[in-house]
Structure 1
Amino acid sequence: MSVQKIGIDAGGSLIKIAYEQSGSFHYRKYPIADLDSALGWLKMLAPDAAVALTGGKSALLKEQYFQRGFIFPEFDAACTGAVYFLKDEQINLDEKFIIVNIGTGTSWFVVEGSNYSRILGSGIGGGTLMGLGALLTGETDYSRLIKLAETGEKGNVDMLVKDIYFPQEPPIDGNLTASNFAKGSINPDSSSEDRIASVINMIGETVILLSMQAAVANQATKIVYIGSTLAGNEPLKQCLASYKKMVGLEHIFLDHGEYCGAIGALMSL
């Protein structure tokens, strides 16, 4: 069966591809280092397909591989894709809501009806996870870092509220972080698992803090999380979800949220 349309989200770390075949959407992703093999496969699969590109490296891909390709703005692609997946998963959001795209860095968007705008950005994201993960554990594989974090204990690296108040009872949840990595000097024997768990905790807490501020400023009560850093990353999802009751916001994680940019680009064709 021939492929007629392809959407490619070329980011700083990954190439995400969405293509339509026989009336269904299919998804693939590759590390940016595997760019040549990924696009070689794609050009064999669909040499005559219409291609829409988005992401930071879209201009490079257009110049080197898809001269007839169409570049769709990155922020438009992410929001268009997120709205599509919400409808596909039958999640009805009639009111204003916030999209949080956790990629190499993190971007926040406010969505109301068919209108959306980027309101905030942070350098904390997947690039932080990979960079600090490599520095603190020596591991450079994403899946391996997540696996390490699943058995790590952030409290061996982070100073928690209960550490400060001990032996008294703290006035707030004692498991909240008082200071990220503050035990680094007093517990130098922390494990790689502990250190990467602390990194993910820092990312999650930073994201939820900024998400809460974005929601309050825009009078929204629902947060939709998307982006490649959430793919297979249960520790980060659990960190974000743990604040649901505390901050009074509904958290929504999309099944194919890492492909919002790619599917949004495809839908522009």
Structure 2
Amino acid sequence: VMLTGVGSAFIDQPLYGLPTAKTDEFLANGLGAKYAASLENLIVVSMGTGTSFVKVEGQQIQHIGGIGVGGGTLLGLSRLLLKTQDIHLIAEMARKGTLTNIDLQIQDICNKPLPDLPLDATASNFGKADGNASPEDIASGIIHMVLQSIGQAAILSALNSPIRDFVLIGNLTQLPQCKEIFPKLEEMYGVRFLIPKYSEYRTAIGAALTYMDGAPIHPIK
């Protein structure tokens, strides 16, 4: 049994009577995403409670940082503003919302596209919101702010490298809005975002791969 992630710190004995070991979460992220994408060079964007970035260059896997924006942000703001933390309800509300009632776009402040920025690019998340915004509009604004922030931070994390492939993993990849937001970022910045099959389980798959690949593990006895 292979364990990883912050929750593994609470396990101090073997599970199910089987040999049990722990491995580094960032290593598991890298191996799980690399295996899914069949790429040698990529940045793994692990969208959990917050978001971490792991650079993969061949056999070298390195955690390069992260941001405190993620699923925790989405749920916390939804509890405050929408009085719910049901992610399925929030996503459905957002689907019915109108983002332009919440976000200030380039076309709201300029009548011509800016270099590399189309008129419908976001100038300010929630910059247009007022007291008359509907819950559906707010839900749309929250999800777009979180996913856009993650995507743009990922792109910035690769500025000093030739990497242009980003593999998205974690539960937030299941949001239907990912299919709208990340392709728009691809077009604007000339990068590629991939959401592999079983993206929400890629860290667990990577933990298994650490054992199979002979990577460092820490047995629990």
TM range (shorter): 0.7 to 0.9
Q: 1:222 aligns with which of 143, 165, 169?
A: 165
Task: Give the letter aligned to residue 225 of structure 1.
Answer: L
Match of residue 242 from structure 1: 184
Match of residue 253 from structure 1: 195
Q: Is 1:161 aligned with 2:106?
A: yes
How many residue pairs match? The answer is 208
Match of residue 216 from structure 2: none
SS in 1 for 2:74: helix
Q: Quickly say closer, same or farther: Cα 1:245–1:183, change in 2 above 3 A.
A: closer
Q: Is 1:141 aligned with 2:91?
A: no
Q: Is 1:59 aligned with 2:4?
A: no
Q: For residues 133-182 of structure 1, give each alpha carbon's deviation from its aligned partner in whole angstroms, at most 9, with x where no partner exists.
A: 121111111111111111211211112221223xx445442211111112
Match of residue 120 from structure 1: 65
- Distance, in Å, in 2 between the alignment partners of 1:108 and 1:82 is 12
Whichever structure has more strand as a proportion of its residues is 1
Query: Of the two structures, which has the highest relative contact order with CA contacts closer than 8 Å and spacing of 6 or more?
Result: 2
- Distance, in Å, in 2 between the alignment partners of 1:159 and 1:224 is 28
Task: Give the letter aligned to residue 46 of structure 2.
Answer: N
Identity among equivalent pairs (%): 32
Structure 1 position 63, deviation (Å):
5.3
SS in 2 for 1:121: strand
- Distance, in Å, in 2 between the alignment partners of 1:65 and 1:208 is 37
Task: Give the letter aligned to residue 249 of structure 1.
Answer: V
Contact 1:53/1:62 (8 A) holds in 2: no
Contact 1:133/1:145 (8 A) holds in 2: yes
Root mean square deviation of aligned Cα: 2.0
SS in 1 for 2:158: helix
Structure 2 unaligned segments of length 5 or more: list them. 212-221
- Distance, in Å, in 2 between the alignment partners of 1:106 and 1:202 is 14
Contact 1:62/1:69 (8 A) holds in 2: no
- Distance, in Å, in 2 between the alignment partners of 1:111 and 1:81 is 11
Structure 1 position 234, deviation (Å):
1.4
Q: Give runs of aligned pairs for residues 44-123 of structure 1, distance below 5 A.
A: 51-62=1-12, 69-86=20-37, 92-94=38-40, 96-123=41-68
Contact 1:110/1:218 (8 A) holds in 2: no
Task: Give the letter aligned to residue 263 of structure 1.
Answer: I
Q: Is 1:262 aligned with 2:219?
A: no
SS in 2 for 1:183: coil
Q: 1:200 aligns with which of 143, 147, 151?
A: 143
Contact 2:29/2:54 (8 A) holds in 1: no
Task: Give the letter aligned to residue 176 of structure 1.
Answer: A
